[in-house]
Amino acid sequence: MMRIIFFAAGALAVVFGQQPANAYEAPWCAVISKGTGNAYWDCQYRSIEECRPNVLGGARGWCNPNPYFIAAPAEQKRSGKRHTRLQ
């Protein structure tokens, strides 16, 4: 009985603990006009330079910063200085 409980808890942790990889959520979007006021947001570009060819390649649209993109926090670098302790 105890094994079943541990197995179920492990399975639930695997299923609900993982977050989906959102490869389509990048900092830049190609907003492509579909006509009649409709637009398609293609948010897979890491820079505006990556986005531009997709908009200028015949599609009507523009590049826009992704309003839903949240950048990962920057790592804080530690200084290389070492302080000696006074006794």
In a domain, 32, yes or no: yes
Record the tokens describing residue 86, joined without a space: 């006074």
| 87 found inside a domain | no
Its pTM stands at: 0.54
Cα distances from 26 to residues 65, 75, 81, in angstroms, run: 9, 19, 36
User: Number of structural domains, the chain?
Assistant: 1
The per-residue pLDDT for range 18-74, each reduced to its tens digit, is 444 454 579 999 998 887 888 889 999 999 999 999 887 766 889 999 999 988 777
- How do residues 39-48 score in pLDDT, each as one tens digit? 889 999 999 9
Q: What is the pLDDT of residue 9?
A: 53
Q: What is the pLDDT of residue 82?
A: 66
Domain that holds residue 51: 25-69
| 3-state SS, one letter per residue, for 60-82 | CEEEEECCCCCCCCCCCCCCCCC
What's the rounded Cα separation, in Å, for the pair 42 and 46?
12
Tokens read off for 15: 């299923």
Asked whether residue 4 is assigned to any structural domain, the reply reads no
Joined together, the tokens standing for residue 78 give 């530690």
